[in-house]
Structure 1
Amino acid sequence: MKSRLLKNFIQEIQFKNRNPNETRVLALLDDISTNPERIFQQGEKLYRSRIILNEEEINKKTGFYGYDAEQSFIPPWRITRDLRANYRYIPYLYCSNHPYISLIEVRPRIGAKISIATILVNQNINLLDFTIQNKPTKMSETKYNLFVELSNLYSKPIANDDDTLDYIPTQFIAEYAKNLGYDGIAFTSSLAPEINNTNLERFNVVIFNYQKCSAIKSNVICLEANHSEFHQIDNDLDKLNTDCYVLEQLIAL
């Protein structure tokens, strides 16, 4: 870990003090003028995927070939568990800015069917951007290293048996960003590492103020062979672009 400030912050908040005295990390976030930010404009779209476990639960509403609007959005607070950006019982909207990234984030097995919801942004959303794809000119190297490390922590794959201790630092930072006035955060996908070597912007998003969004449709996708071979198998004539970013680049060439 390059950021010694973050390392010290994590050590304290995990093992010593949930209300940390080591606030230099937070002071860097407080400097809004050098925070990388990203705005999703009203009318833009995001994507949320869920593996279909029971096909009797899908294709219930017009326009929703997969899960319906309610099941395509945030989980009920009663079943919301600790995750990278949220505490238990506090649901946030986890999604991606591209269908392919959303699909691989749920790590489906070959033959799995996935419901991928299209999420409409109804009001402008301002994100604290840990992807560093648009680095502010006055951003210090110390702050840059901090954001890179935080993006790596947020993108770390989640397992059902993860110790919630690992979530404490990123949950705290997410809540801190929320209290700074951000609607959410953006971070890279560890399941698509080659993205950092492309010009395509593909990343994950967590929306705190999910009331600014709504699920408008869902489609059913099947993983037929590997992560580059997703195919839409519903009857919707409006097909999603589920090509991986590597294929997109080859097509562009």
Structure 2
Amino acid sequence: MNNVRLINFSNSVFQNRQKEKEREGSEFTWRELITWMFSSPFDPRDDTAYVPTQYLSERIKGNGYDGIIYDSALNPNGYNVTLFNTTLAKPRSRQLAKVQSIKLKPSYHAVKE
């Protein structure tokens, strides 16, 4: 098994998790934005949808990381690991899953003028 260097953008598996009142500032903002970008579904007909995440991935890879960890869009308690080089890991098992529905639970906040 190889050791891999992963950059962690997940809020669910962030090891040095900040207390809720400390979760502000530029680091929190960027972590939230990046995890949202990687976990959000996209329209497969839009051939430019991957451009921002591809750019970030190339920058991260260029800084010596092998992949990223980010929150799952399908499981609020889950996370995903993306490896830039798939030969760094071998699957233990495989399963075919068919997503039949996704429950959206929006929350609304007042916007300051």
Specify if TM > 0.5: yes
Q: In 1, Cα distance between the equivalents of 2:84 and 2:67?
A: 5
Q: Equivalent residues in 2 for 1:1-253 (5 A)?
A: 122-132=1-11, 133-135=14-16, 141-161=25-45, 163-193=46-76, 195=77, 202-219=78-95
Structure of higher CA gyration radius: 1
Segments of structure 2 that go 5 or more residues without pairing to the other structure are 103-113
Total equivalences in the alignment? 96
Segments of structure 1 that go 5 or more residues without pairing to the other structure are 1-121, 196-201, 228-253
Task: Quote the offset at 1:124 in angstroms.
Answer: 1.3
**Displacement over 6 Å in runs of 4+:** none
Q: In 2, Cα distance between the equivalents of 1:185 and 1:171?
A: 12
Partner amino acid, structure 2, of 1:203:
Y
Task: Quote the offset at 1:184 in angstroms.
Answer: 0.2
* 1:166 aligned counterpart, secondary structure: coil
Structure with greater proportional strand content: 1
Q: In 1, Cα distance between the equivalents of 2:101 and 2:52?
A: 33
Identity value in percent: 25
* 1:214 aligned counterpart, secondary structure: coil
Structure with greater proportional helix content: 1
When normalised by structure 1's length, the TM-score is 0.33
